[in-house]
Amino acid sequence: MEGMNGSVLTALQIKDVLACLPHRYPFLMIDRIVDINGVESAVGIKNVTFNEPIFQGHFPGQPVFPGVLIIEGMAQTAGAIVIANERLGNEDSNQIVYMLTIDKAKFRKPAVPGDRLEYHIKKIQRRRNVGRYEARAIVDGNLVAEAEIGAMILDPE
């Protein structure tokens, strides 16, 4: 996708992600986004470290990155690419993406400190301001979680 200045969006570094999402520490679940193909697909990256605050309680002595936070990372990846692409055509846009549904969620393997989670997002459909995405979380080529995520783009209140 090309912006008004002819730019093509292929990746979002952390400063770009922060510009697209309202999430902040400790709830930002992506470090960057690569392989962006407009609003069709992208890969979000989350480097899981032992320093994550969640590991104090999940679980002491056997840290496991919570599946619900993996789902959140998938949704944040989809939301960030939608907002970033909306802003290519209108830099004054300040819309926010809200999660509507999580369907067909399955957790295959745990993610642990040292893992590099890849959130593979692919658009299923989009009608006006509602979109649906197929999402898969992969570590070292292995599927760890999957879901279908529905979201809505709204103007902030």
pLDDT band (50, 70, 90) for residue 1: very low
Higher pLDDT, 2 or 88: 88
More confident residue, 128 or 107: 107
Mean per-residue pLDDT over the chain, rounded? 92
Q: What pTM value is reported for the model?
A: 0.92
Peptide bond into 59 cis (omega under 30): yes
Q: What is the pLDDT of residue 7?
A: 64
Report pLDDT for 136. 98
CA 75/CA 137 separation, integer angstroms: 11
Nearest Cα to Cα of residue 133 among 95, 80, 67: 80
Residue from 31, 35, 58, 148 carrying the catalytic annotation: 58
| Confidence at residue 93, expressed as pLDDT on a 0 to 100 scale | 74
For residue 22, pLDDT beyond 60: yes
Domains of the chain (ranges; CATH) run 14-154 (3.10.129.10)
pLDDT at position 2 is: 43
pLDDT the model gives residue 4: 42
* Contact criterion met (CB below 8 Å) for 15 and 32: no
Asked if the model's pLDDT at residue 155 lies above 90, the reply is no
Predicted pLDDT at 6: 52
Query: How many Cα neighbours within 13 Å face the side chain of 120?
Result: 11
Residue 58 annotated to the active site: yes
5-14: pLDDT as tens digits: 456 789 999 9
Query: pLDDT tens digits for 50-109?
Result: 999 999 999 999 999 999 999 999 999 999 999 998 888 776 678 889 999 999 999 999
- Residue percentage of the chain with pLDDT more than 70: 93
Sheet bearing 96-107, strands edge to edge: 32-37, 41-47, 116-127, 130-139, 142-154, 96-107
